[in-house]
Chains A and B, each alone.
Chain A
Amino acid sequence: MDKQKKNSPFRIFLRKFLKQRLAVFAFGLVIMILLVGIFGPLFAPYDPHRPVTAQYADKGIDVDQLTSSTVQLEGRLSNGEVVDQSELPQLQTETENRRIASIRRTQSGVQISANTSGATEAVIESGDVSSVAEILVEGEVPLDDVEPIVSQIIIAQPEEAFSIGDEYQINFEALKTDGSEITTIEELRAYTEEKYGADEEEDTSGFQSGSSENEDSASFQLRSLTEDVVTVNEQGVVQFEEEGEGIVQIQSGDVSSVVQFQVGNEQVEPILTGIYLESTTVELTDAYKHQTPSSMHIFGTDHQNRDILSRVIHGTKETLLIGFVSVAIGTVIGTVLGLLAGYYGGWLDSLVTRMTDVLLAFPGILLAIAVIAFLGAGLTNIIFAVAVFTIPVFIRIVRASTLSLKEMTYVEAAKSIGVPNTVIIFRHIFPGTLSVVMVYLTMRIGVAILIGAALSFLGLGGDITAPEWGSMLSAAKDNSSNIFHATFFPGLAIVITVLSFNIFGDGLRDALDPKLKE
C-alpha cells in the first residue's frame, strides 16, 4: 500500500516539481503575492488614496517635526555679554527662496519650515549685524552640489581702549558651514565676489527694482560706520582719528559683523557685534511630495505624497484581479470552445478555428486596446479585453489535445457503454487536457498582468489615480529622470509578479511532462 502511494501520479508530480528549486521559490513568491493581494490592505501602513502628510496626525506623527527645525540664536555684545534672542533689537528674518523654506521667530529662536526640496539660505539680521544659515531640504532636487557658505563672521573684540593715532589690525574668523574658516581679508573678498558677484550680474538683467540696495548688501564691505572717529583701510588696519566710539563693519554678502572700539577714556555703551547661530546648517526633509525611501516610507512617496508601499500593496489586489479573473474567463470560454470544436469537428470546428485565427492575427496588446476602444476604459473592461485575447490561445491548445484524446480507446469505450457526448467531453476528455491547461493558465496569468498593467499605463484603466501598478508607473513616468523610487517600486512589483508566475508555470510544465524523467 505504501509503495503504491509513493508512485501515485500526484506524488511523482510533486517529487519532480520539488526538484526544481527556482520553480518552488517562484511558487512561494506566488503564494506570498496572493496573500498580499488578499490580506495586504489590512497591513498597508497608509491610506493609498490620501497624502501621507494628512495622515501623520492620525498616526501620532508631528508633521512639523519632520519639516521644520528651530535654530537657537544669541547676540554677543562688545563687552562679551550674551543677549538672548528675544532682546535683540529689530530682529529680521528672511529666507532667500520662500518656495523652498520659510522662517519665523518663536519663543526659543527661529523656526525654519520646509516647503519643497532644494537648498536656500536664511538671513537673520539685527541692525548692522547678520548671520546666514544654510537650509537643505531633501527631496526631489538633488543636493549633492551645494557649496558651503560663510555663515557668520566673528571679529575679535579688543578689550583695551585706544588713543588717537594708534593703529589696530582687525582679526576675524569667517565660519563656513562645512566647519572651515576664512581668516584673511583677501580670501573673504574673493569668496564674496565669487558667491555674490555672480548673482549680481543676474540681478542687473532681472526685474528687481531695488538693485542699488542689493548691490550694497551683495558685495564685500570693510568700512567704518563712524568715519570721524576711526578709519579703516583695505588691509583691515584701523586708524583712530578722534576720541569717542568707533565701529567697523565687515560684510560679506548677507553676513555682517561689527567691532567696537573705545578711543580715549570715555566709557562707551556696549553694542551688538554679532549674531551667533547654534547650528549653521539646517537639514530638513520635504515631506510634501516625493519623499525618498526612509524608515517611515520604505518605498518613498509619490508626486501627490501618497505612500508608495501602501499603493503597491493595495495595487496587488487589483493587479491579481485583472490577472486571475481575465485568465479565468478566457480559460473557461477557450477550453469549452476548444473541447466542443475538437470533439464534434465539422462546421463548428471550422467556425471556431477561423475565429481563433482572426483573433490570433492581432498582437495581444493591440487587440486589447481595440476592445477597450470599443467598450470604454475601466477595470471591468480591462479584464474583458485581456480575456478576449486569452480565449484563442486556449481554444488552440485545448482543441489540439482534444483531437488526440478523442481517438483514445477509452473514449471509444465510453461511447460503447452508452455515455452521452457531453459527459464524454467533460468527464473523459477534459481531465486529459487539464495538464496543458494548468501550465498555460499560470503562464497566461503573468502575461495578463503585464497587459493589464500596460493598458493602465496607457491610461485605459479608467481611474488613473487608483492604486494600480500600471497607472502608478504612468503617473510617475514624467519625473522618472530625477526620481528613482516612484517608478522603480511599482515596476519591480510587476517584474517580480510576472516572473514568479512564469517561472512557476515553467516548473509546472516540466513536472507535468511525462517525457521528462525524474
Chain B
Amino acid sequence: MTMTKNILDIKDLTINFKSDGKEISVVDGISFHIKAGETLGVVGESGCGKSVTSLSIMGLIPSPPGRVAGGTIEFEGKNLLDFKEKDMRKVRGNDISMIFQEPMTSLNPVFTIGKQINEVLLLHNDMNQTEARNRSIEMLKLVGIPRPEQIYSNYPYQLSGGMRQRVMIAIGLACQPKLLIADEPTTALDVTIQAQILNLMQDLKEKTDTSIMFITHDLGVVAEMCDRVVVMYSGQVVEETDVDTLFNDPKHPYTLGLLGSIPKATEKIERLYSIRGQVPQAGTVEKGCRFADRCDKVMDRCREEDPPLFQMKQGHQCRCWLYAED
C-alpha cells in the first residue's frame, strides 16, 4: 500500500460522561487514524465506546452529560474539536457523513425520500430545487434503487428496510464526503440484504474514493469490507492491525476470544465458545488491565498495572502484558 495522507487522525481522545455527579471515562485515550481511500473497521462489544467515538468525530456528543475531556480529532490536518458549531455544521454531511444502524427510524416519516436527500444537497451546495432533484434521483440510481423517479416522491413507510438503508447511503454520499462513518449499517438488515448493502458500499467507495469508518461487531463483515481493524474494549483500543493479520495472527486475548466466538460452518460443537463474564461498566476498573477479569491468560501483573499499547510489527499494536519485551 502506498503511503497516503491520513484523512482522520485521532490522538488520545478521552470522552467523559457525567452520571450521578461523577465523571466517568467512556472513551479513554484512544488513538487511531484513517488514510484516504481506506476502510477502517472498528470492532468491539456493545458499550465499548465505538458509537461515542464516531459521534465525537461528528461533534454530536450529547452535552451535557457528555464532553470531550482531552485529545484531538484532526480531519485533514485541522482539529475538529476547535471548530465552532457553525463551522462544524458545514463539515457534517459535506466532508464527513454518517449512516446509522436503524434504517427504519433514520428517515423522517413525514417527508418524502426526495425531500430528505434534497435537504443535505441544498444545505451544502449552491443548488436550486431542480438541480437538487436531478442530483437526488441520480444518487438513488447510484445506490441501486429501481424506479428512482417514483421512489423520489414516496414516503419512508413505503420502502423496505434494505431500500431505506440504500436511501440513507445515498444521503450520506450525496455531497461526496471524504469520510463516511457507518455505524453498524447492516445490523438491522437480513443476511441477503446485508450482502447487497456491503457490496454497494464497496462499489461506491471505489467509485467515489471515500474513506469509510466501519463500526461493527460482526467480524465476518470486517473481513469482507475493511483494510485495517481497530479492536476496542471498554473505551480503549486493545489491538490495531491490518485485516489479514487480525484473522491469521491475532495477538490480544480479547481478539482471540472474539474470533473464537464465530461459529464455523465446518465444525459441529455442543456449545459455542463465548468470552466469560461481561464488559465491566465504564469507570469501575480502577487499576490493571480492563480485560483481566475475563482473560484466559491473566497474570498477576495484569491486575496491578494498566498495559500500554505494544508495537508488534509494522502497523500492528496490542495492549497486553503478554507482549511486554522486558
> Which residues of chain A have a CB within 8 Å of any CB of chain B?
4, 7-9, 346, 408-410, 412-420, 427-428, 431-432
Contacts and interface: CB of A to CB of B under 8 A. Distances in A.
Which of A409, A413, A415 has the most chain B CB within a 10 Å cutoff? A413
Interface in B27-81: 58, 60, 64
Contact of B123 (A346, A418, A431): A418
Interface of B: 58, 60, 64, 88-94, 97-98, 100-102, 105-111, 119-120, 123-124, 154-155, 157-158, 168, 171-172
Which of B101, B105, B108, B124 has the most chain A CB within a 10 Å cutoff? B108
Nearest to A413: B106
A413 B107 contact: yes
A413 B158 contact: no
A412 B54 CA distance: 12
A243 B102 CA distance: 130
Which of A8, A346, A417, A432 has the most chain B CB within a 10 Å cutoff? A417
A4 B92 contact: no
B158 A408 contact: no
Given A4-B154, A9-B155, A416 B105 contact: no
Contacts of A7: 158
Contacts of B107: 410, 413
A418 B111 CA distance: 18
27 contacts: A4-B154, A4-B158, A9-B155, A346-B64, A409-B105, A410-B107, A412-B106, A413-B98, A413-B168, A414-B108, A415-B60, A416-B60, A416-B97, A416-B100, A417-B92, A417-B97, A418-B88, A418-B90, A418-B120, A418-B123, A419-B93, A419-B119, A419-B123, A420-B89, A427-B111, A431-B110, A432-B109
Contacts of A431: 108, 110-111
Contact of A410 (B58, B106, B123, B124): B106
Contacts of A418: 88-94, 120, 123-124
Contacts of B93: 416-419
Contacts of B155: 8-9
Contacts of A410: 105-109
Contact of B110 (A4, A409, A432): A432
Nearest to B177: A417
B92 A9 contact: no
B157 A9 contact: yes
Given A9-B157, A413-B98, 15 more contacts: A4-B154, A346-B64, A409-B100, A413-B107, A414-B119, A416-B98, A416-B100, A417-B93, A417-B97, A417-B98, A418-B123, A419-B93, A419-B119, A432-B109, A432-B110
A486 B158 CA distance: 57
B58 A416 contact: yes
A415 B105 contact: no
A8 B156 CA distance: 11
Contacts of B94: 418
Nearest to A415: B60
Nearest to B94: A418
A8 B171 CA distance: 24
A417 B154 contact: no
A417 B123 contact: yes
B171 A413 contact: yes
Given A417-B119, A432-B110, A412 B124 contact: no
A244 B60 CA distance: 130
Contact of B100 (A4, A8, A9, A412): A412
Contacts of B58: 415-416
A422 to B, nearest CB: 11
A428 B120 contact: no
A414 B89 CA distance: 11
B106 A415 contact: no
A409 B92 CA distance: 16
Contacts of B105: 408-410
A418 to B, nearest CB: 3
Contacts of B110: 431-432
Contact of B92 (A8, A415, A432): A415
A408 B123 CA distance: 21
Nearest to B174: A417
Nearest to B64: A346
Given A4-B154, A409-B100, A416 B108 contact: no
Contacts of B101: 409
Contacts of A346: 64
A7 B89 CA distance: 37
B57 to A, nearest CB: 10
Nearest to A8: B155
Contacts of B119: 414, 417, 419, 427
A253 to B, nearest CB: 86
Contacts of B90: 418
A371 to B, nearest CB: 36
A8 B110 CA distance: 11
A412 B60 CA distance: 8
For the complex of A and B, 9 pairs with smallest distance between CB atoms: A417-B93, A418-B92, A416-B98, A418-B93, A431-B110, A417-B120, A409-B105, A418-B89, A410-B108
A225 to B, nearest CB: 102
B174 to A, nearest CB: 8
Contacts of A414: 108, 119
Contacts of B120: 417-418
Contacts of B64: 346
A408 B109 CA distance: 11
A420 B85 CA distance: 9
A238 to B, nearest CB: 105
